[in-house]
Amino acid sequence: MTTTPLKPIGYYLKALDTLINEDFAHVLSAHGLTRRDWQVLHSLALQGPLARPVLARLLEPFRDPGSRTLDEVTRTLAARGRLVTDGDTLALTAAGRRIHAEAASLVDVSRARLMRGLTEDDYLRTVTVLDRMTANMASEA
């Protein structure tokens, strides 16, 4: 029996990130959402109304260079009636909560596909290892 050698971790990180982004784009397009739109809607659905700087801090680790800014995303979502602003605070509208709930069910299916054949322990062990690797590299920066 021959086994194929494993590739370096960077290969898997980039490949998985690309596949997750492509899957999210496909799944969310049914609701006219991008992944960045989803992140804003989901954050507001989980946390409730948030001040713009708080939401910006929550989402900063997920922002890709060249991606739409938070202001651009929130303006688009507000124009579509999915969120409202009150001063510096952002909140979902009833339509935003409905779209979030519909998209969440599709995202759950996508995440289940990602986790197929893996146990909760597999996931926790993987995330723990990645967390340690990230901390190791951050401490050297």
Fold classification of 9-140 is Arc Repressor Mutant, subunit A (1.10.10)
**Rounded to the nearest 5°, which phi and psi values hold at 83?**
-150, 160
Cα(10)–Cα(77) distance, integer angstroms: 34
pLDDT in tens, 92-107: 999 999 999 999 999 9
- Could you tell me the residue ranges of all domains in the chain? 9-140
- Specify whether the CB–CB gap between 94 and 80 falls below 8 A: no
pLDDT in tens, 40-54: 999 999 999 999 999
Cα(103)–Cα(22) distance, integer angstroms: 15
**What is the average pLDDT value for the chain, to the nearest integer?**
93
pLDDT in tens, 52-79: 999 999 999 888 888 899 999 999 999 9
**Rounded to the nearest 5°, which phi and psi values hold at 4?**
-80, 130
